[in-house]
Amino acid sequence: MKITRVEAVPVNVPLKPQMTTKTSHGVHATSPYVVVRVHTDGGLVGLGEATLAPRWSGETSLGSVAIIEGLIAPVLVGEDPTQITRLRQKVEATIRLNPFTKAAVEMALWDLSGKAVGVPVYQLLGGKVREEMPIRMVVGSIEVTNAVNLAKTFLDSGAKCLKVKVGLEPAQDLERVRAIRELAGPDIPISVDANCGWTVPQAAQMLQRLRPFGILFAEQPISTGDPSELAALRRRTDIPIMADESAFTAGDVWRLTAQRAADIISVYPGKNGGIQATVECVHAAKAAGLPCAMGSNLELGIGTAAMLHLGAALPTIASERYPGDFIGPLYHEADLLKTPLDIGPAAARVPQGPGLGVELDEDQLEHYRDHSSVAQATGSTTETTFEG
């Protein structure tokens, strides 16, 4: 089996109006992502998804399409897609950054590898260690009354864990968490996520003031510049610290653990640069004795499926202790899949079909295709072909 064509389709899928999220990074109201299809001479097609956000990695849909077309596709066409490690090395040698773009292509290779042998990706990763993964629903840094109303909607639907975004204005952050704790009662786990939004003094003060609310963990309370600052903050609080924006690569995880800067590492394939890269990050955390949790950039269906396979197969991704962000499709108007994933509101389950176990809905893809992009304006999709 050989790769004959790599196709990148920019899409723009709005979030449901009531699900628009706000963090210290900005407002997330629509998702300008890229869907990747890797075609082969045997007729199999692998699917991937780049959940792009400039505030995270500097990647845009236009840039992602250009990189796939100009740099990644030429080194993959004509290759055996099941040789994931070798092809990943070729891609890494071609482009060093752009993790979400590389992750989308690598997802498609895993999807093809599973389809080629008729097994799910989780089986390629060693098999399932859990049947379902608890999830946490996210309440953005929005006005307190609206935040409480959204949290009530989640809880009424059966959610068992909440994440509250903070990091914009300390007084309102505190009131938002206080109000949601009062609504949820003492038994619902609640975490907070500042997305780098607090200064070190603010974080130290806020974590102290949040202690009475039984916080499960505090996610990336300060910026990523110096792990020693995060380590110093961790020593000043008994609320567990999760590293997210500071943990893109296995090297990042090693530096965090060497500094004893975190209690939990947030991982997911988009941020880490692919499924295999997430496995490497998880192994680095495991070697240091730290658990991981599945994070998110509000993926659509394909990206969430990749997360589910990892969550099902890797014991160190401890969703039972730290519920994961397997939530993106619940926030969007569409997931681009023919059959929705089995997610929420309390737990998620991995697809059972071969590869990623999902099928692209071509009608949805066409409906949400981003015709404003340069690639589509020229009347072409991104592809490099292979003959032979």
Domain 3-119+360-377 maps to which CATH number in 3.40.50.10130, 3.40.190.180, 3.30.390.10, 2.70.170.10?
3.30.390.10
Which amino acid appears at position 241 of this protein?
Answer: I
Question: How, if at all, do strands 241-243 and 45-50 pair?
Answer: unpaired
Mean pLDDT of the chain: 94
Is the pLDDT reported for residue 109 higher than 90?
yes
Categorise residue 47: left if φ over 0, alpha if ψ from -120 to 50, beta otherwise. Answer: beta
pLDDT category of residue 25 using cuts at 50, 70 and 90: confident
Q: Which two tokens stand for residue 7?
A: 């196709």
CA pair distance 106, 81, nearest whole angstrom: 9
Residue-level pLDDT at 373: 63
pLDDT category of residue 185 using cuts at 50, 70 and 90: very high
Residue-level pLDDT at 308: 98
pLDDT category of residue 26 using cuts at 50, 70 and 90: confident
Which amino acid appears at position 186 of this protein?
Answer: P
pLDDT category of residue 385 using cuts at 50, 70 and 90: very low
Q: Which residues pair with 139 in a beta bridge?
A: 164
pLDDT category of residue 348 using cuts at 50, 70 and 90: very high
For the residues 268-296, what does the mean pLDDT come to? 98
Contact call for residues 314 and 293 (beta carbons, < 8 A): no
pLDDT digits (tens, 9 = 90+) for 123-132: 999 999 999 9
Burial class (CB in 10 A: 0-12, 13-18, 19+), 369: middle
Fold of 123-349: TIM Barrel (3.20.20)
> What residue spans define the domains of the chain?
3-119+360-377, 123-349
Residue-level pLDDT at 347: 98
Query: Of 90, 96, 82, nearest to 249 (Cα)?
Result: 96
pLDDT digits (tens, 9 = 90+) for 133-183: 999 999 999 999 999 999 999 999 999 999 999 999 999 999 999 999 999
How much is the CA Rg of the chain, to the nearest whole Å? 20
